[in-house]
Structure 1
Amino acid sequence: MHRLVVVLLVLIAVTNGRLSVYHRHQQHLSLRSARHRISPLTGVRIALPTPEQLEWQAQEIGVLIHFNMATYVDNHDGCTGDMVPSISLFNPYKLNTNNWAQTMIDLGAKYAVLVAKHACGFLMAPTNVTFPLSPSGRIIPYNYTVDYSPVKGVNVLDNFVKSCNKQNIRHGFYYTVVNNDYLNVKQGLVQNTTLKKGQLNITQQTYDSIVLQQLRELWTNYGKLDEIWFDGGYTAELHDSVAALVSELQPDSIIFGGYGVTRNPIRWIGNEFGHAPDPTWSTGLEGGGDPNSPIFIPAECDTTLQQFDRWFWGPHVLLRSLTELIDVYHRSVGHNCMLMIDLTPDRTGLIPSAYALRYKELGDFIRACYGTSVVPIYRNSSADGRIHFQVFDSPVTVDRSVVQEDQTLGQVIRVYSIDVQLADSSNKDQWKSVASGTSIGNKKIDLWQAGSQMITAVRLNITETVDVPVLKAFTVHLCS
C-alpha cells in the first residue's frame, strides 16, 4: 500500500518504506487561504471545518475494500512491476457485493471505499477510454478491465454502490494515479525502460489523459462519493486538472490526500497499524496534527484485518486477534481518528467466514461496550462550559469515559481532566483523578488506569481552552 504524508512544501508518498517526491504546493495552496476564525475570547486563530468534514468524522468506522487483480496474485505485495498478471486470473465466480455490505453492517461501518484501480492497472468497471500506442499512434481501448475478464458484463463498482445504497452505507472509490503496471508507470511517470510482458508503450501525455478520463467516469457514473482515495498522491502536472475535476464533479467529497485539491481534505495518520498518537488533533498536515494549525484536516487510521500488513486476501494468512483489534479501536476512534479497516473478499468474490466472524466480533464489542452508558440522575454544567458534572442515584461501577467536542466552530479544548467521587469514601467532597488529556475532537476515550471504580459522581474539568468549549457528549461506561 502507498500512503500520503503532506509537509509544508513537498508532498511525499510513502511506498513500502521508500520515499518519493511528487509535487510542490502551488502558490494558491498557501496556509493563508485556510478557513479559520479569530477567537473573541483569546484572539487565537482557530481552524474551521466544513460540514462535510464533521459528518465524515461522525461516522467513526469505515472499510477500505481491497479486491482487484492483486487478489489473484500470490506474492505479498500484489503487483510489483515485474509482470502484468493475465486478465484471465480475475474470476470471482461467486461475486456478491450484498455479502460485503452485510459484513460492513455487522462491523458497524458507516462508509466504504472500494479499490477501483490499483497498481496492476486493472480497472473494476467497464470504460470507454481509448488511447494511442507509441510510437505507432494506433488507437486501442483500455482493455485491462473487468469487461475483458472471465466475468465480462459484471460492473463490480455498480454492484458495490447498489449494495451500499440498500444498507445506507456511504460509498467511495480508491484510485492510484502513481502506479500502473499495465502502462509501465511508476511514481506517476511513464518509464523509458524495456517493456515487460503485457505492458504497453505510451507517452506521458497519453497517460495523464487516461487518468483524467477514468476519474471523470468514476466521479460521474456512480452518484455522490463520500470519500475519494488518492493513494500515493498525484504528479505536479496533474494537480490543477484534478482540482478542477473535483470542483466540477465531486465538490462535497472527502478526499484522502486531497489538501490543495478540495475544501474537504483528510490526512493520513502516518502508519498502517491503526494507531493514532495521543494527542491527535483535527488540525494540521502531518501525523497527530497541530493544535495551532489554521487548517482543519482530520486524520484517518487505515489498517488491516490480516496480519503482517497484508491488504489483499492471501492464502493461509492469519488474522489479527479480537484483543488487538479492540486496542486498535481505542487507539484510533478513541484518539480522534477515523478507523478505516481493510475488508478483503477472497478469490470467489465473498468475504471468508472466518473474516466475517472477526469483523462481527469487533462490532459486537463496540456495541456492547459503548452502545449504552450509565445514566445519571443529575447533570450540571458551568456557565463557561468548563465544568461538566454528573451525579448518580446509587453507586455505579465504571472503568472508562468518552468525551466528544462540538467542533462546529473549530476544535478549542486544549487540556482536560476527569475526577470521580468514590462510593466508599468517607469524605463526600473528596475527588479522585482518573484521567487527563489534551485533544478531544470528535471523540476521546479514556480507559482509566485505576481500572473499574465504584462512584457516586463524575466531573469533567476543561482547564485550558482557546474559546468557550461546547460538548456533544460526556459519558461513562463499564466494559468487560
Structure 2
Amino acid sequence: MSIWVGIFLLFVLRTDGRSSRYHRYRISPLTGERIALPTPDQLEWQAQELGVLIHFNMATYVEQHDACPNDLVPSTSRFNPYLLSTDNWVQTMIDFGAKYAVLVAKHNCGFLLSPTNVTFPLNPSGEVVPYNYTVNYSPVKGVDILDEFVKSCYKQKIQTGFYYSTVINNYLNVQNDTLKEGQLNITQQVYTNIVLSHLRELWTNYGNLEEICFAPGTLDTIAKMLAELQPHANVFGGSDVTANSIRWIGNELGHAPDPTWSTGTSSGGGDPNSPIFCPAECDTTLQVFDRWFWGPHVLLRPLPDLIDVYHRTVGRNCLLMLDLTPDRSGIIPPEYANRYKELGDFIRSCYGSSVRPSIQNSSADFLTYMLVFNAPVSVDRSVIQENQTRGQVIRAYTITVLIAITKDQSEWTEVATGTSIGNKKIDLWKKGTLLVRAVKLNITKTVDVPVLKSFTVHLCA
C-alpha cells in the first residue's frame, strides 16, 4: 500500500465552494471565460519537474510488502540504520536531477523519524505518557533524521518537505477496538490533538518547507497553522486550506493522462474550465510491484520503463515524484543509485540542449511560432512550455514541419497535435525522426492571448 491511500481517505474534495476563498481567477477580455490564477509558490513548485518521495521508516525493517500491516508495531530496537547518511541520499537526488525531496516523517506503524515533546493521556486511566515510538528510542538515539535530511538538502539547494500519515497509526491503535502487542489505548480526540501537535513540530522546527502532505483533522485549525507556520508551502490535496494547493494524478504508475491541465481539484487530468489553479503531481516507484519501502530481492523497473514514465509525467504537465528508497543500513544501494543516475543521464542528454534554429519568430497575434534552420536538421520531438503567470490559456495546438526531402518544398506536414501545454508538453513525433527545414507551432484554440516560455525541438537516441 502506498502512502497516498491513507491521505485520500480523509481528503474528500469539497463541493460546497469553500475552497474558492483561497483561490483567485480573472475574466478573459477576449472570451469572458474564467481563468484560474496561480500563486508564485505554485509556479515555482511546478517548474521543478523532478522530485523524490523518500520512504525510509520502520516499514523498511519489516518483511511484508504492505507497510506495517495488520496492526503491526515493530520494536524500536529494529530501527538501526548503522550507515545512515542523508548526504548519500542527496547525491542520488543530484544524479537523478531532483529539485525537491519529501521525506516520510511518520508512516503507518506510527514511528516518528524525529524526537518529539508530545505527551498524551491514556484511556481510561488518564495517565500522561510521552510519545516514545520515535528514533530517540532506537539504536540511533540522539539522531534527528529529519534535521539531518533538511541540512543535507539545504547544502545542495534542494527544496524539502514532509509526509505525515494520519489515517493509520498502529502504535496508537487508531483503526481497531482490540489492543494488540505494543499498542496504546487513547480516545479519538486525544489522537487528533497528537496529530496537530506533531504537525506543529514538523512545521516549526525545520525551516521553510516547499511541500507538505497531511490529512486535516480540523480544516480551520489546519488552515490557521499553515498561514502562521508555512505560508509558502505547497500542500498536497490542500485546496480546502490554502491557495498553494497541488493534486494527485490518480494512479501510482507514473502515467498522467493526456491532456493534464494545471487547473481543477479532482484527481486525474484536471479541468480546463475550473477557477482553481491546482497543478498535478505523479508519484511512482523505482521498485516493481508498487513496492515503496526498500525490500530484499526486489527488482527495479527497467530504464526504458522509467523513460516512458518521464514522458508520461513531466511531458504531460505533471511533476514526477519518484520514490527514493534507502535500505536498512541507511544509504541508497549502489544498484538503485545507478538506475536513478541512468534516468537522469537520459533526461540531460536528450533535453539538456536543443537543435538551435537560425531564425525564431512569432506572428503578430502570438498564435504561430516558427523555427527556421540554415541547413536541414534531424529532429524527432518537440517541447512546449507555456508562461502561466496569468493562467493556463492555450486549449489546442498543432505542430507542422517543412520536410527537407519532398517534392513540394512549401508543403507543411503535421507531426503532432495536443490540447494542454501548461508547464511542459513533450510531443514524440508520430512520424519519427525527420529531416526538416522549419518547424511551426500553431495555436488553434486559446481563451486569451497566449505567452510561451519556450518552444524547442530535439533529437534523442
TM range (shorter): over 0.9
Pair 1:201-2:185 in alignment? yes
CA deviation string 1:377-413 (max 9, x = no partner):
1011011110001100111001000000000000000
Alpha carbons of structure 1 residues 26 and 212: separation in structure 2 relative to 1, 3 Å = farther
SS at match of 1:59: coil
Match of 2:162 among 152, 173, 181: 173
Shift of 1:194: 1.1
Match of 1:105 among 94, 101, 107: 94
Match of 2:248 among 268, 274, 282: 268
Match of 1:444 among 425, 446, 451: 425
Alpha carbons of structure 1 residues 32 and 175: separation in structure 2 relative to 1, 3 Å = closer
2:216 maps to: 234
8 Å Cα contact 2:102/2:163 also seen in 1: yes
Alpha carbons of structure 1 residues 401 and 98: separation in structure 2 relative to 1, 3 Å = same
1:36 maps to: 25
SS at match of 2:149: helix
Give me the whole-angstrom Cα distance separating, in 2, the residues matched to 1:102 and 1:33. 37
CA deviation string 1:133-156 (max 9, x = no partner):
111111111000000001000110
Pair 1:117-2:97 in alignment? no
Match of 1:418 among 389, 399, 409: 399
Alpha carbons of structure 1 residues 32 and 217: separation in structure 2 relative to 1, 3 Å = closer
Could you tell me the TM-score, scaled by structure 2's length?
0.97
8 Å Cα contact 1:178/1:234 also seen in 2: no
Give me the whole-angstrom Cα distance separating, in 2, the residues matched to 1:279 and 1:3. 26
Give me the whole-angstrom Cα distance separating, in 2, the residues matched to 1:442 and 1:338. 9
Shift of 1:82: 2.8
In structure 1, runs of 5+ residues without a counterpart are: 5-13
Alpha carbons of structure 1 residues 33 and 20: separation in structure 2 relative to 1, 3 Å = closer
Give me the whole-angstrom Cα distance separating, in 1, the residues matched to 2:408 and 2:282. 44
Matches within 5 A, 1:77-156: 77-156=66-145
Shift of 1:185: 1.2
Shift of 1:428: 2.2
8 Å Cα contact 2:22/2:242 also seen in 1: no
1:48 maps to: 37
1:358 maps to: 339
8 Å Cα contact 1:100/1:351 also seen in 2: yes
Amino acid in structure 2 at the alignment position of 1:68: N
Give me the whole-angstrom Cα distance separating, in 1, the residues matched to 2:152 and 2:400. 46
SS at match of 1:171: strand
Shift of 1:81: 3.6
Give me the whole-angstrom Cα distance separating, in 2, the residues matched to 1:218 and 1:448. 46
Shift of 1:28: 6.3
CA deviation string 1:8-66 (max 9, x = no partner):
xxxxxx459xx846667385615476310000011111000000000001000000000
SS at match of 2:74: coil
Shift of 1:83: 2.1
Give me the whole-angstrom Cα distance separating, in 2, the residues matched to 1:133 and 1:26. 37
CA deviation string 1:198-220 (max 9, x = no partner):
00011111111111111111000
SS at match of 1:185: coil
1:345 maps to: 326
Pair 1:400-2:381 in alignment? yes
In structure 2, runs of 5+ residues without a counterpart are: none
Pair 1:434-2:415 in alignment? yes
Sequence identity (%): 68
2:315 maps to: 334
Alpha carbons of structure 1 residues 219 and 33: separation in structure 2 relative to 1, 3 Å = closer
Shift of 1:257: 1.4
Pair 1:67-2:47 in alignment? no
Give me the whole-angstrom Cα distance separating, in 1, the residues matched to 2:224 and 2:77. 36
SS at match of 1:194: coil
8 Å Cα contact 2:377/2:436 also seen in 1: yes
Alpha carbons of structure 1 residues 33 and 57: separation in structure 2 relative to 1, 3 Å = closer
Match of 1:476 among 450, 457, 460: 457
SS at match of 1:374: coil
Runs of 4+ residues over 6 Å off in structure 1? none
Could you tell me the TM-score, scaled by structure 1's length?
0.93
Give me the whole-angstrom Cα distance separating, in 2, the residues matched to 1:104 and 1:24. 32
Query: Which has the larger displacement, 437-446 or 205-214?
Result: 205-214
Please give the root-mean-square deviation of Cα atoms over the aligned residues, in Å: 1.5
Aligned residues: 460
Give me the whole-angstrom Cα distance separating, in 1, the residues matched to 2:204 and 2:100. 19
Match of 1:25 among 1, 14, 18: 14
2:234 maps to: 254
Amino acid in structure 1 at the alignment position of 2:237: G
Amino acid in structure 2 at the alignment position of 1:210: I
1:456 maps to: 437
Alpha carbons of structure 1 residues 441 and 3: separation in structure 2 relative to 1, 3 Å = farther
Amino acid in structure 2 at the alignment position of 1:196: K
8 Å Cα contact 2:113/2:144 also seen in 1: yes
Give me the whole-angstrom Cα distance separating, in 2, the residues matched to 1:20 and 1:225. 24
Alpha carbons of structure 1 residues 173 and 48: separation in structure 2 relative to 1, 3 Å = same
8 Å Cα contact 1:417/1:437 also seen in 2: yes
1:245 maps to: 225
Alpha carbons of structure 1 residues 117 and 310: separation in structure 2 relative to 1, 3 Å = same
SS at match of 2:47: helix
1:220 maps to: 204
Give me the whole-angstrom Cα distance separating, in 2, the residues matched to 1:241 and 1:420. 55
Match of 2:174 among 185, 196, 202: 185
Amino acid in structure 1 at the alignment position of 2:442: N
Shift of 1:427: 2.3
SS at match of 1:391: strand
Give me the whole-angstrom Cα distance separating, in 1, the residues matched to 2:61 and 2:73. 12
Give me the whole-angstrom Cα distance separating, in 1, the residues matched to 2:6 and 2:161. 22
Amino acid in structure 2 at the alignment position of 1:35: R
CA deviation string 1:402-453 (max 9, x = no partner):
0000000000000100000011123221111000000000000000011000
Give me the whole-angstrom Cα distance separating, in 2, the residues matched to 1:222 and 1:398. 46
8 Å Cα contact 1:258/1:264 also seen in 2: yes
Give me the whole-angstrom Cα distance separating, in 1, the residues matched to 2:189 and 2:258. 44
